[in-house]
Amino acid sequence: MIGKKSIFALPKTFAVTLQEHLSFLNISKTEQGTAFGNKFITSSETISSFSPVDGNQIASITLTTDSDYEIIIKETQQAFKIWRTIPAPKRGEIVRQFGEALREKKESLGYLVAYEMGKSLQEGLGEVQEMIDICDFAVGLSRQLHGFTMHSERPQHRMYEQWHPLGMVGIISAFNFPVAVWAWNTALAWICGNVTIWKPSEKTPLCAIACQKIIGEVLENNNLPKGISCLITGKVELGKQIAADKRIALVSATGSTKMGKDVAATVGARLGKSLLELGGNNAMIITPNADLQLAIPAIVFGAIGTAGQRCTTTRRLIVHDSLVDELILKLKGAYQQIKIGSSLDETNHMGPLIDTDAVKQYLKAIVAAKEQGAEPIIEGKLLTDKGCESRCYVSPSVFLAKNEMPIVQEETFAPLLYIIPYSGSMEKAIEIQNSVSQGLSSAIMTTNIRESELFLSSQGSDCGIANVNIGTSGAEIGGAFGGEKDTGGGRESGSDAWKAYMRRQTNTINYSTELPLAQGIKFKF
């Protein structure tokens, strides 16, 4: 059983007010949503950014018009001509300066992420730290964009491969990670010599504007073209415009599987490149050899972190039937400790959902689960207590279910966890885990090395991420992030993910006085 001590560790409280943080980020009540570098373009049509924390309007933001879009494209094209000629280590120096600027403004930017998106302040600060970490990673990588040298079959010939920047990279990001995913893409794209155009979620535009102002200042201080980093703000149609634009070499899109399929079809039709990070229906397997004291915090954070609005959220718990009763008892005790409320209060573990539409989808999923025969263990609901006036706060749910239920096969972007019992061998648990269309993250809890190695083998998890004795949620910068099947198959962040942002070229050099032809062909004239 979990004791009285909380399963979460909490940092100290911040005393700075929201307005002070916004002021430090140079964010006002009216902002322009279109920019190249630190040059912002004004227009008439606007949207409002509302905080799910308290329902208040934070600011009014102008949208990108068609004429604004063409200005951005032109600026980006011109910037690329200069940026690609700068040596990669020098480009890395600019990314280093960006990382230093983020360190200076980490608390304020993390606070804005928490307030505009609704995730806890701890998670908001952690997201900015991810930005800093990817900058550090990219700086080192800027001196390691290696090619290969190969032996030619022809005498006195040399062959090698090298990598060149693609050009313009379009980034479409989702609301749940309003700054980190952009940074994962841009830090690598920049050191590779690309220029970037960012379309953030219309639900979190202020976070993007704050980031644009930070990098804009870095570019200005180094007398670099403003078009190296551009921002456009709009709704779904603007994302479709990016996908269809032949001038944009790579489109990196994060969001739902449906959105990703639309992007892939549009970009593919013009033979462009796409990098897709889409939905997840992530499972954790609990074998009879699991350490439940280790498993419980991983389960709870995986299920309720960011209010269940992570692509790596734990959504299915595949538990050996010998442990189901004990696990349910422990989970009930752990869930009773969860504190729900304002994201800006560090004593709370879970903040609101992003908006009331997300709440409606969550409550609809609860109804569907019960109609399909799932048994409520902990049934979530809309919270209307004091401090929950935004009507975006819910309590989490845990259901005893079957994997084949239609609702279990779907990704519900909310704190909804399904316990799925299995009996027999590990192979059965793996079969259940893999029996969904998504393939992002997975985990197993076991102290048995044979079980863990089977899970990690080609017969095991079919996901892009497979963890042993840690949860499904979260990722480290050093490892490439992404998944398979309906998750999209893209890889961002670590490892050799930089190759997605470059084109490979094979070069052959003849330093002889003859011209031997390939395959021994003789050609005389």
CA angle, 11 then 300 then 15, to 5°: 20
CA atoms within 13 A on the CB side of 299: 31
Which 3-state string (H, E, C) describes 379-419? CCCECCCCCCCCCCCECCEEEECCCCCHHHHCCCCCCEEEE
Alpha helices in 2-65 (DSSP H): 18-24
Helix (H, G, I), strand (E, B) or coil at 360: helix
Q: How far apart are CA 392 and CA 286, in angstroms?
A: 32
Q: What is the dihedral of CA 113, 116, 118, 119, to 10 degrees?
A: -10
> Which of 75, 123, 130, 277 is the catalytic position?
277
Alpha helices in 105-196 (DSSP H): 106-117, 121-141, 180-191
Beta strands in 42-182 (DSSP E): 46-50, 57-62, 149-151, 157-165, 168-172
> Which of 207, 311, 388, 392 is the catalytic position?
311
CB 401 within 8 A of CB 319: no
The answer to whether residue 311 is catalytic is: yes
The answer to whether residue 277 is catalytic is: yes
Question: In this structure, how many other beta carbons lie within 10 angstroms of the beta carbon of residue 1?
Answer: 10
Q: How far apart are CA 211 and CA 198, in angstroms?
A: 11
In this structure, what are the phi and psi dihedrals at residue 230, rounded to the nearest 5 degrees? -125, 155
CB 444 within 8 A of CB 343: no
Q: What is the dihedral of CA 343, 349, 352, 354, to 10 degrees?
A: 80
Active site residues: 277, 311
